Structure 1
Amino acid sequence: MLANRVVPSGIVTARGSNPGGGEGAAQAFDGTAQTKWLDFAGSSWIQYQFAAGAAHVVTQYTITSANDTATFPTRAPESWILKGSNDGANWTILDSRRGEAITANFTSRTYRFSNTTAFKYYKFDDILAGKDANGDRGSVIQVGEIALQTSRVLAVKAGSATVAGWGDDAAHASGGNFYSTGQFIDVSAVVDPAPQSIYQNERNGNFTYTISGLAPGGKYKVRLHFAENYWTAPGQRTFNVAVNGSLALDHFDILAAAGGQYKAVVREIDATADSLGRIVVNFDGTGQPDQPKVGGVEVVIPNIDLARGKSVTSLINESSSFGPGNVVDGDETTRWSSGQWSRNNQIAWLVIDLGARFDIDRVRLNWEAAFGVDYQIQVSDDGSDWTMVRDVVGATTGGVVEHANLKAGGRYVRIYMTRSRINPTNNFSIYSVNVHGA
């Protein structure tokens, strides 16, 4: 089950298309960029409705350009608005983009946005064709492929039978055999465990899982679900697991890792999809006792805090106990304080060096009682020239504040504060700053 790629079982509608040329609306969601959707208009829309009334929380999407976009660059969509709905009539704006024309052939670009609501309909509205060198907008729009994606990209169990939320692995696995047990599996030590049947069934032997249809170069987390349902002592089964050719688990012993027989254990592996949008997971027990096995494979989009543990500087601190590093230490009980109550200064700032340039979608602030009333979130590539991406004026509450859909990019993130609820001293205090993106 590829949960990240909407399959043609849903309903696709559009303002217009070219079905006679094999370029209908459904071709935008058919799982391959070798086909395309084409509309003879400079402004259009396309909509996907999930099958059987299902609703999904979409958090990113990938658009792939068509076969001849380089020849007809104005056909590439330049801007659009993504909306979600549960009745097809009332819409919520989820994301908007400008200046995004992909003018090379078969080129993918992934867009992330913050969303926690499951919608039945997703609509790319107000799509505009690109412009030529004279600034004239094109009169045709085309897209090779659109993939709507959720945080859980893939969930498959060993064997042909399916269980709620988990599909069979036939389309992804090669090699190996099957084994199952009716024994109860203890999942108490696993965070976010799979259903019982995932651990009761297994694919064993030397085998490979190939997960395709991902965003090329995309960052993912592979979750492997295990339980030792045969051996009773450590050392009786060990094996290696490699992801895209790199060793991820060396002489892995399920029973030793889980602490006993019939106990579930999960191993999470960070992975990057290759240039073809694939993650290949190979299980090999050559020369080791018994043979590899796995009960289920998940692929998820990790929610990485880009700021955790990074270098932070500040204009002013109350003391070393309330230094700027406290906002990125992962501890929500430590905090930074500007200490303006003891200094003649009305502004304060924090600068986080992410270590490299990232696309930045969301910034989370956890304010102490001395929260910012007026402040900005700014980004920079060099730490000198700053671009404001969110301007807050007149905030009335502190605590946890989520700033989503920033659509920004940079190496440095600055929280620039000019007015606090603590007047007239303007002291500012923050427990944590989290930066999310890719």
Structure 2
Amino acid sequence: DMNGVGGWPAPRGADAPNPVTYPFRSTDGGSVVDKLTTGSRTWDFNTAGGAHYGMVPDWIEDIRGVGGQKVVDELFTGAESYLRTWAGSERYEPGRNLAEGAAATASSSEWWNPFENFRPDRAVDGDTGTRWASEWKDDQWLRIDLGSAKPVGRVTVDWEKAYAKSYSIELSTDGSNWKTVWSTDVGDGGLDTARFA
């Protein structure tokens, strides 16, 4: 199956370093491959490149000459490697959301809407249909207390239509001393994931 082959290799020239030398053994070692002849034409990978599907064994031999046997071995275990990766993904357990259900406080909460509640705990209740909303002014903050010191390597914020253009993520082990681990001044809403060490 040649799906996904974006382009065939061009001729490298008869004097190219590491030319394909004919005859050669096939990848599995079971056959001897010589230059392919169709009609009155004999095809040489060095001067014709990958001119057609019949030149695939020559192309693989060229890869072996340029990249080495290890590259060819990896090429031929690609499907098996994919299947091993796929099988491994079935056992994958995503990391737990440390913030879900944690205690949350905020600088303010939007209060004027009688139909919805925008309390800070709505930001971490696990329901994408609820949210925290601050009053309409700058320098607002949301604080999430994880209960004890835990390693945090990323924070994901799922904004609604309103979003902060500039904001930062700060961490603290004692609730008093804060360290900025990530910030932006080009926020554009949507789903933001801040990654840090």
Pick the TM interval, shorter chain: 0.5 to 0.7
**Partner deviation per Cα, 1:355-395 (whole Å, 9 max, x = no partner):** 11111111100011110101100000111110000011132
**Partner-residue secondary structure (3-state), 2:143:** strand
SS in 1 for 2:148: strand
Structure 2: unaligned runs, 5 residues or longer: 1-70
User: In the alignment, is residue 352 of structure 1 matched against residue 148 of structure 2?
Assistant: no
**Is structure 2 residue 130 aligned with structure 1 residue 323?**
no
Tell me, what secondary structure is at the counterpart of 1:165? helix
What is the one-letter code of the residue matched to 1:399?
A: G
In the alignment, which residue of structure 2 is the partner of 1:165?
Answer: 87
Q: Which residue of 2 aligns with 1:401?
A: 192
Coordinate RMSD, CA, aligned: 3.1
- 2:74 — aligned with what? 52
Q: 1:382 maps to which residue? A: 174
Length-normalised TM-score, structure 1: 0.25
Alignment of 1:91-106 (within 5 A): none
| Residue identity in the other structure for 1:387 | K
Other-structure match for 2:9 = none
Give percent identity, aligned residues only: 32
The yes-or-no answer on 1:361 pairing with 2:153 is yes
Alignment partners' CA distance in 2, 1:364 and 1:393: 16
**Aligned partners of 1:165, 1:352: CA distance in 2, in Å?**
36
Which consecutive aligned stretches of 4+ in structure 1 deviate over 2 angstroms post-superposition?
Answer: 51-55
In the TM superposition, what whole-angstrom CA distance separates every residue of 1:217-263 from its partner, at most 9, and x where no partner exists? Answer: xxxxxxxxxxxxxxxxxxxxxxxxxxxxxxxxxxxxxxxxxxxxxxx
Distance in 2, matches of 1:331 and 1:316, equals 20
SS at match of 1:359: coil
**Is 1:304 matched up with 2:100?**
no
- Flag the structure with larger Rg: 2
- Number of aligned residue pairs: give it: 118
Distance 2:87 2:174 in 1: 45
1:244-255 to structure 2, matched below 5 A, reads none
Q: Which amino acid aligns with 1:402?
A: T
Local SS of the residue matching 1:312: strand
More helix by share: 2
- Cα pair distance change 1:165/1:324, threshold 3 Å: same
Equivalence map 1:100-249=2 (5 Å): 165=87
Q: CA deviation at 1:301?
A: 4.2
Q: What do residues 202-230 of structure 1 show as CA deviations (whole Å, max 9, x unaligned)?
A: xxxxxxxxxxxxxxxxxxxxxxxxxxxxx
Structure-2 residue corresponding to 1:268: none
Q: Distance in 1 between matches of 2:119 and 2:182?
A: 24
Q: For the residues of structure 2 that align with 1:400 and 1:333, how far apart are their CA atoms?
A: 14
Q: Identify if the C-alpha distance between structure 1 residues 352 and 52 changes in structure 2 by more than 3 Å, giving closer, same or farther.
A: same
**Residues 406-433 of structure 1, C-alpha deviation per residue, up to 9 Å, x if partnerless?**
11xxxxxxxxxxxxxxxxxxxxxxxxxx
**Residues in 2 aligned to 1:310 and 1:365: alpha-carbon distance in whole angstroms:** 15
TM-score w.r.t. length of structure 2: 0.52
